[in-house]
Amino acid sequence: MKVTKLLRTTILTGLTFPMVLFILGVYNGVMQTFYRAGVIHRQSTAGISYYQGLTMHGVINALVLTTFFAVTFGHYTITHYLKKEPPGWSYLGSLVVMAVGTLTDLAVMVLGKASALYTFYAPLKASPLFYLGTALLIAGSWIAFAGWIKIWYQWKRENSDKKMPIAVLGTFVNFTMWLLSTIPVVYELLALLTPWALGLTDTVHVPLTRTLFWMFGHPLVYFWILPAYVGYYTILPKVAGGKLYSANAARLAFLLFLVLSTPVGVHHQFSEGAISGGVKMWVSILTFGVAVPSFMTAFTVGASLEYAGRRRGAKGLLNWMAKLPWLEPDNYLFGYFICGLILFIFGGMSGIINGSYTLNQLVHNTGWVPGHFHMTVAGPSLLFIFGLSLYMFSHISGKPLRYRRTVTIIPYLWMIGVAMLSHGLMAGGLMGEPRRTNLGLTYTNPESQLFNSRWVPSTTMTMVGGIIMGTAAALYFICFFKMALSKARATPTIELPEAEELHVEKPLPIVLNMRPWIVISVILIATTYIPSLSNVYKYGRPVRNRFNIDNPINTVQDEKK
C-alpha cells in the first residue's frame, strides 16, 4: 500500500540513523577482539579507550539499533496488516524523543563521560545525561506503541469478524512485555540514578538498582528477538516457498513469551548474595519455561521449511533441506532467516545452561556469556535487522537494491564469523576468561606477570571470528548505503511477503485474546519480584558510594570534607 510522505520519511530515518551509528558499534566490537587477543596492549586506541568502546558497543548495538528497529519494523508491519497509518504524533513523537535520547547518550559516550558500560551498574557513575538519554530512548518507543493501539481499536471496530493478524499479535506482545519491563528501569534511571549522579542524593541501594536493571535487562533480549520471530512465522514460510505449519501454535508461542519474559530477569543475579536460593530456583523453572515457546518455534518453523522443501520436489527424509533456496540472489531474505536460525540453535542451548541455577556458577561473567548472546542478538536478531532493513528500505523508498550477490552471501559470512567468535569466547569462558575485561593489558600480555597462556588460543579464535564479522558488516554497509544514496526508480510502497497457513485450524479462543495472558504475566512478575525485592531489602543496605571509573576515591566523602 502507499503511505504518506511523513510516515515514509520516519521509517527511512528510523532505518538509516541507527545504521550509521552501528558502524561505530561494529568498529568498537572488532577492536575489542584485538585487545582481548593481546594484539593491542594499550588502554585506548584512536582516542577511544577499551571500556569507552565497550560501552558504545553495548549501547549502540544492543539498545539503539534494536529499539529503533523494533519500532520501525512495528510501524511497517502494523501499517501493512491493518492497512492504516498510525497517527502522526505517535511515529513522529517517538522518533524525535528516541533520537534526542540517542544523541545525548552518544555525545557523553564520545566525550568519555559515560564509560560505565551499558548495564550502568552503580556505584560506578556515568554522566547524569547518560541516564537521562537512555530513559528518553526507551520512553520514546512507548509513544509509537500508543499510536498502534489507537489504530488497532479502529481496525477492530471495522473488522469485528476478523482475527488479529499474527504479525500484529507478535508486535503487540513484544511491546506489552516491553512496557511492563521498562517501567522499572526508567524508574531506576530517573528516580534513583540521575539524582545520585547529580549529587542531590548520596546513597544508593546497589542490589536494588541491579534488580531493577535486570527486571528490564532480560525482557530486553526477547525484545531483540521477537521481531525476528514475527518474521519466522509470517514471512519465512512464504520466502522459502511453503506455508506456515500451524497458526494457533504461533499465537500460543507469542503469548507464552508475554507471560514468561519479564519474571526471569533474576537469573542474571544467581551469583549475588542478596537474593535467596529459593527465589533463584523458582527463576530457573521460569527460565526453562520460556524455552518452551522457542522449542515450539523450532518445530513449527522446521515443519514449515520441510513443507517448503517438499513442495520444491524433495523426496526422502532429509532432502528437503537441500531443496531450500539457500543462495538465490532473487530471494536473498532466506539466507538472513536461515543463518539466524542455525545460530539460534546454539544460542538457545547455551541459554538453557546459563539459566540453570547450578551450572551458571561455572560460566557467570566469563567469556561464555557474550559467547552465548552473540549467537542470539548477533544471530537471529541482527540478521533479521540486516535483511529486513534492506527489504523495507528498498520498498518504501522505491530505490533498487544493488549488489545482490554480495547481499546474498553476507549472512553466511556473518554466521561463520559469529560461530568462531562465540566458540572462542565460550571455550575461554569455561577456562575462566572474564568478560568485559581489557585482557590485552595483563592476561594476554606476555610481558605482564598475570599472563595466562591458556587464554591465548581462545582469544585468538575470537579475534578471527571478529574480523570475519567485521568484514561481513563492512560489505553490508556498502550495500545498504549504496542503495540508500541512489535515486528512486519504483513507486514507494509498503509490502511484505505474507505466509499462508497450511491447515485451516479451528479458532482457539484462548490464543485470540491477550487480556488473560497480561493478567498471568503480572501475577508471575509479582511472584518473582515481591520475594526478590523483599530479599534485597533484607540482605542489603544502601551505601554512600559514588565512584568515577578512573579513580578509587569515593566522591561522596570528598564532598563532605
Partner 1 sequence: MDKYEFRTIGLSGLLLAVFFFAILYNSYGRKINMPTCIPADRTFQRTEVKKIDDHLYEFDIVARMWSYGLYEFVIPPGSTVDFYLTSSDVVHGFEINEKGVNMMAIPGVVNKITATFENPGVYPIVCNEFCGVGHQNMTGRIVVKQD
Residues recognised as catalytic: 218, 222, 372-374, 435-436
Rounded Cα distance between 248 and 426, Å, is: 36
The residue type found at 406 is T
Among positions 7, 164, 324, 439, the unique one binding partner 1 when judged by CB under 8 A: 439
Q: Does 331 bind partner 1 (CB under 8 A)?
A: no
Among positions 194, 437, 459, 521, the unique one binding partner 1 when judged by CB under 8 A: 437
User: Which residue number, 23 or 296, has a Cβ lying nearer to partner 1?
Assistant: 296
Among positions 292, 474, 475, 522, the unique one binding partner 1 when judged by CB under 8 A: 292
Size of the site for partner 1 (CB under 8 A): 81
Burial class (CB in 10 A: 0-12, 13-18, 19+), 434: middle
CA 368 centroid distance within chain: 18
Q: Does 538 bind partner 1 (CB under 8 A)?
A: yes
Q: Which stretch binds partner 1 (CB under 8 A): 95-103, 298-306, 389-397, 514-522?
A: 298-306
Specify whether the CB–CB gap between 227 and 173 falls below 8 A.
Answer: no
Cell 546454539, residue located? 346
Rounded Cα distance between 288 and 68, Å, is: 29
Beta-carbon contacts of 257 under 8 Å, excluding residues fewer than 6 positions away, are: 173, 174, 177, 222, 226, 229, 290, 293
| Grid coordinates belonging to 15 | 532505518
Rounded Cα distance between 408 and 330, Å, is: 9
The distance of closest approach from Cβ of residue 550 to partner 1 in the complex, given in angstroms and rounded to an integer, is 5
Rounded Cα distance between 297 and 348, Å, is: 12
Q: Does 38 bind partner 1 (CB under 8 A)?
A: no
The distance of closest approach from Cβ of residue 541 to partner 1 in the complex, given in angstroms and rounded to an integer, is 5
The distance of closest approach from Cβ of residue 366 to partner 1 in the complex, given in angstroms and rounded to an integer, is 6
Among positions 435, 462, 470, 496, the unique one binding partner 1 when judged by CB under 8 A: 435
Q: Does 136 bind partner 1 (CB under 8 A)?
A: no
Q: Does 547 bind partner 1 (CB under 8 A)?
A: yes
Among positions 93, 112, 195, 289, the unique one binding partner 1 when judged by CB under 8 A: 289
Q: Which stretch binds partner 1 (CB under 8 A): 66-74, 178-186, 279-287, 331-339?
A: 279-287
Write the interaction track for partner 1 spanning residues 204-243; mark x where CB under 8 A is met and - where it is not.
-xxx--x---------------------------------
Rounded Cα distance between 123 and 129, Å, is: 16
Rounded Cα distance between 260 and 222, Å, is: 10
Q: Residue 172: which of 524, 513, 523 has the closest Cα?
A: 513
Q: Does 47 bind partner 1 (CB under 8 A)?
A: no
Q: Does 146 bind partner 1 (CB under 8 A)?
A: no
Residue 350: CA count within 13 A, CB half-sphere: 26
What is the CB neighbour count within 10 angstroms for residue 134? 26
The distance of closest approach from Cβ of residue 440 to partner 1 in the complex, given in angstroms and rounded to an integer, is 8
User: Which residue number, 269 or 521, has a Cβ lying nearer to partner 1?
Assistant: 269
